Each structure stands twice: as C-alpha cells, then as structure tokens.
Structure 1
Amino acid sequence: MVQKILTLFFAAATVVACSTNKITGRSQLHLLPESELQSMGSQQYQQFLSENKVVSASADRDAEMVRRVGSRLANAVEKYFASKGLQKQLEGYKWEYNLVANNEANAWCMPGGKIVVYTGLLPYTRNEAALAIVLGHEITHAVFQHGNSRMSQGLLQQLGGVALSVALSQRPAETQNLFLQSYGVGSTLGVLAFSRSDESEADHYGLIWAALAGYNPQEAIPFWERMAQAGGSKPPALLSDHPADDKRIADIKKWMPEAMQYYKPVGSR
C-alpha cells in the first residue's frame, strides 16, 4: 500500500514538475530550481579545480584557446537567448573556462556556465572550430537544463524525491556524486545517460552557437568522424552517452544548412 502511494506521489510530482523548453518546445522534468544547481555547480567546480591540475591560460596557448573559444560561445549564446526574449533563463550565469591536464577525451559544462576541457580531447579536436563544436554541445546541455532533468530523475530514483537541501544535509556524499554524474564530471561518466533527445538537441544547437561565435560548423562532421574512428571496446569519454554513429553524422548534415545561415567567420563582421 505504501509503495503504491509513493508511486502515485512520484507520478504526480513528475507531471507537475515538467517544464517546456521555450526554444525547442520539448517538455522536460525539472524538480530543482536552477539557482540551487548553479550554487552547487559553483562549489563543485572550485573543488574540482582544486583537486586537478589546471593549465595556466597565461602560459599555455591551448589553455588560452579554451578561454577564447568559451568566451566567444558564451557571448553567442547570450545574444541568441536575448534575441528570443529569454535572457532571464541565463540569470546567474558567471562563465568560466579552464583546461585541465587529464588524458581523457572529454569536456563538460556545469550549470552557471562552469566549463572544463581535458587536454586529452585536443588531439581529437585538432583545431579551434572543432573545439567550439564540442563546447557548443556541452553548453547546450547546461543552458537547456538537461542536467537538471538527469538530477531530478536521480533524486526520484535514488534518494526518494527529496528536496536538494534535504538530500545534501542527509546524504551529502550520494547527492554530490549524483550531481557529478548528472553533468558528466570525472569517473562517474555514463552512469546517468543523457537521453537521445538531449544529445540531439546538444548536437543541433551546438552547431548554431559555434556558427554564431564565428566558427565554421562544418568542422563538426570530420570531428565526429574522428571520434567514431576512436571508438571500440573503450571509446572516448565524450562518447559515453551517445555513440558517434551514422545517424548522428547524418543528423548533423541535415542541420548544417540552418547552422550555416548564422555563420560569419571571426574577423569578417
């Protein structure tokens, strides 16, 4: 009887907590205030940086490139949201961009615009435009609140749907681990997978952010082809949620004409 009541409660909570993405029109589960996730993201980001080797942007060209690409993408995303009258959705964003010495081919963006690129990704990107494609993808996960959906699902499934503040006070280690899983940080990758719809949105709008920032979105095709070739029994971390396959590349080709409408090369404006 108790189990039945809990099931009905969680089903009702899921319906009430669904919100609609005003850009894509897709409905998503959001149990958590984005402001709380941004606060937690800021704390976890600083902790991550303190526990890992951050490459100095003042002394390393790759680290400076990460900050340059991140800054251009952030400006592009903010302008796009403002053009849709949705600038309030990015309230609280304080963008940061850091390169971390780690051999994994990975990158991620926490709520509030906290970005990390691992040095192991750069042999695959090979150029600034391809890096913009990856960061555009990861930024989409953040600004479309895909991580909020994963965190919400995890709270329902693993911690009984309690409020974030309660989960942090009563089960802090599990809650922090759930947060890291939700945003693809560290060794927890792949435990909570982004949905195929999330990944498709990230691929699609990542092209647009890159184009708006002045990077050729066509670089997405050879980049994902390189990532697909790097697959196998242990594919790069960036592929853990959505393997690079023929459909992904076909979808990117389908969206390319739209993305190219936004593209003006850096320095041509």
Structure 2
Amino acid sequence: MYRRLLLPFFLLGLLAFLAGCGETPTGRSQVALVPNPLMDDMGQDAFNQLRERQPVSGNAQANRLVQCVAEHVIAGAEASYLGLDFPKRWDVVVFEDPSPNAFALPGGHIGVHSGLLQVAETPAQLAAVVGHEVAHVLADHGNERLTQQLGIKAVLLVVGLLGEGDFGSQQLMQALGIGAQLGIRLPFSRAHEEEADLMGLEIMARAGFDPQQSVALWQNMAANGGDQPPEFLSTHPAHETRIRGLEQALEDATAIYRSATPADCS
C-alpha cells in the first residue's frame, strides 16, 4: 500500500530534479526533453494545417505591415539573444480571423490574425505581440509544456497500473490529476506568459519599437477582451498583472530602446 502511494511522488520528485537540468534565456530552470528537430517538424505540420484550414489575408497593406514588423522583431531577437540557434528563415502569414491573436511555432513560423490589427493601433503595439510570441519559441516553452504533459501522464499511468481498479487508487488518480492541473500546468503556463512578456519587451525595444506601447497594447486588450476567469484558474495572467509586470520592466527596456535605431513600419 505504501509503496503504491510513494511511487508516483517519487516520479514527481524525479521530474522536479530534471527541471534543474536546463535554463531558459532568462535563467529560469527548465526541463525540455523533446528533441528540437521533432519540435520543428511538429511546428511545420501545425502551420501547414492552419494554412489549409484558415483563409490567408489578401490585404496588401496588412501584409506589408506585419512583414515589416516581424522582420524588425526577428532582428531584435537575434541581437538580444546571441547564443541561441535561430531558424534560417521565418514564415510570416496574416490569417483572416477576427480574434485579436497571434502565434509563433517552433521551426520559424509566425501567424497574425487580422483581428489583431484592429486592437494593435500602432506598429509598436503589433511588435509587442509578435515579440512576445517569438519569445515563446526562443524559450522552448512549447517543448517544456509538452514534456510536462508527458510526465504527468506517465505518473497517472503508473498509479493506474498499480491500483488495478482499486477505489482508493482511483481517488488518488483523480486527486493527482486535479493537483497536476492547478499546481503544474496552469502555473507553468502563466510563468511562460510572464517570461515571454519580459523577453518580448527587450526584443521590441532592441528592434527599435517604443516599449511603452506594450502597456498601451494590453490596455487595449483589456478593453476588448471582456471578463477573464480567476487568475489561479487561468493559463494567462490577468490583464492587470501583465500590465504591472511590464511597467516594472519599462525602465531597462526604455534604455535599450534609446540606444536602438528606430524602426519605421509606417
């Protein structure tokens, strides 16, 4: 009985130990065990599927704006994080979608929804979003999240095999599942968002975009986003939390911006 109960906690402890084996560009401990070529392949497959399912914008002005901002942001990212391996080329696509969203995928793929251009009122505000999404890729957040999910599933599988249908074991599996959701997946997702915010702020500043516009962008997002779930049940920080974190980092980012060549995507 005790061995059955202790084994899953031993495995969780092993995962926690592995988390100290790597670091993100900001120095946060990280476990990301999926091979990078596999992540790149998954990113390519996902992007291809999106292009098949989602209409691509034919708005020439919108495409020029997004391409310009993305080129500056990528250059800013390469200047900010010299030791990282960057994709040799980036695919940048504007999708016809009214939601104010954007994403970046492993392997060098950036997607921007046309609806984002209604919320991001300036090129710098668009750069804040694109820089944030590129930061997710540079910090291997997708790899880390996938590794966590695989680890959680492995622990629950072991508990299920050891319990052999025992009611107490089923209760333990349910408790571990809920604990993993609230204690691992969601907080780590919020940590990813906060880390991408700070990395993206530096990237946009070094790319020549005013980092003050990142705060304006998220104020626009808050005005357009409606109600959010409680922060402890959300994968993203509350808008107020995100804005406060950006404001605290503005001094350093502004100093970087003042030394950069201003970007012109007007």
User: In which range does the TM-score fall when normalised by the shorter chain?
Assistant: 0.7 to 0.9
Following superposition, which runs of at least 4 residues in structure 1 exceed 4 angstroms of deviation? 1-4, 159-162
* Bigger proportion of residues as helix: 2
Cα offset, 1:196, TM superposition: 2.9
Shift of 1:209: 0.8
Contact 2:72 2:263 in 1 (8 A): no
How many angstroms apart in 2 are the aligned matches of 1:262 and 1:9? 43
Structure 1 pair 48–22 and aligned structure 2 pair: CA distance change class (3 A): closer
The one of 191, 199, 212 aligned to 2:206? 212
Query: Deviation at 1:219?
Result: 0.8
TM value normalised by structure 1: 0.75
SS at match of 1:117: strand
Residues in 2 aligned to 1:9 and 1:54: alpha-carbon distance in whole angstroms: 45
Shift of 1:64: 1.8
Check the 8 A contact 2:98/2:113 in 1, yes or no.
yes
Measured against aligned partners, the alpha-carbon deviations of 1:161-212 in whole angstroms (never above 9, x if no partner) come to 99xxxxxxxxxxxxxxxxxxxxxxxxxxxxx645332222211121111111
Call closer, same or farther: CA 1:5–1:250 in 2, change over 3 Å: closer
- The CA distance in 1 between the partners of 2:57 and 2:94, in whole Å, is 6
Mapped contact 2:94–2:113 kept (Cα < 8 A): yes
Equivalent residues of 2:31, 2:144 under 8 A apart: yes
| d(CA) in 1 for partners of 2:86, 2:205 | 23
Q: Is residue 90 of structure 2 the alignment partner of residue 95 of structure 1? A: yes
Letter in 1 for 2:256: Y
AA matched with 1:32: V
Q: Contact 1:215–1:266 at 8 Å: present in 2 too?
A: yes
How big is the shift at 1:262? Answer: 1.7
Please state whether the residue corresponding to 2:239 is helix, strand or coil: coil
Q: Residue type of the partner of 1:62? A: A
Q: Per the alignment, in what secondary structure is the counterpart of residue 110 of structure 2?
A: strand
Rounded to whole Å, the distance in 2 between the matches of 1:101 and 1:240 is 25
CA distance in 1, matches of 2:120, 2:86: 30
Please give the root-mean-square deviation of Cα atoms over the aligned residues, in Å. 2.6
Residue 55 of structure 1, aligned match among 54, 57, 79: 57
Give, in whole Å, the separation in 2 of the partners of 1:78 and 1:220.
Answer: 20
Q: Name the aligned partner's letter for residue 78 of structure 2.
A: E
Give the Å deviation of 1:74: 0.9
Pair member with larger Rg:
2
2:71 alignment partner AA: S
SS at match of 1:262: helix
What is the match of residue 259 of structure 1? 253
Query: 1 or 2 for the larger relative contact order (CA 8 Å, sep ≥6)?
Result: 2
Q: Percent identity?
A: 29
Q: Please name the residue that 2:239 is paired with.
A: 244
Instruction: Note if contact 1:136-1:210 (Cα within 8 Å) is conserved in structure 2.
Output: yes
| Matched residue, 2:77 | 77
| 8 A Cα contact 2:24 2:140, kept in partner | no
Residue 148 of structure 1 aligns with which residue? 143
- Counterpart in the other structure of 2:25: 23
Higher mean C-alpha displacement, 65-74 vs 129-138: 65-74
Unaligned stretches of 5+ residues in structure 2: 158-184
Structure 1 segments unaligned to the other structure (5+ residues): 163-191
Equivalent in 109, 113, 121 of residue 118 of structure 1: 113
Give the Cα separation in 2 of the matches to 1:129 and 1:25.
27
What TM-score does the superposition give when structure 2 sets the normalisation length?
0.76
2:225 maps to 1:223: no
The farther-off stretch of 199-208 and 133-142 is 199-208
Match of 1:186 in 2: none
Report the counterpart of residue 66 of structure 2 in structure 1.
66
What residue identity is the alignment partner of 1:47? Q
The answer to whether the 8 A contact 1:107-1:134 is kept is: yes
CA contact (8 A) 2:211 2:253 kept: yes
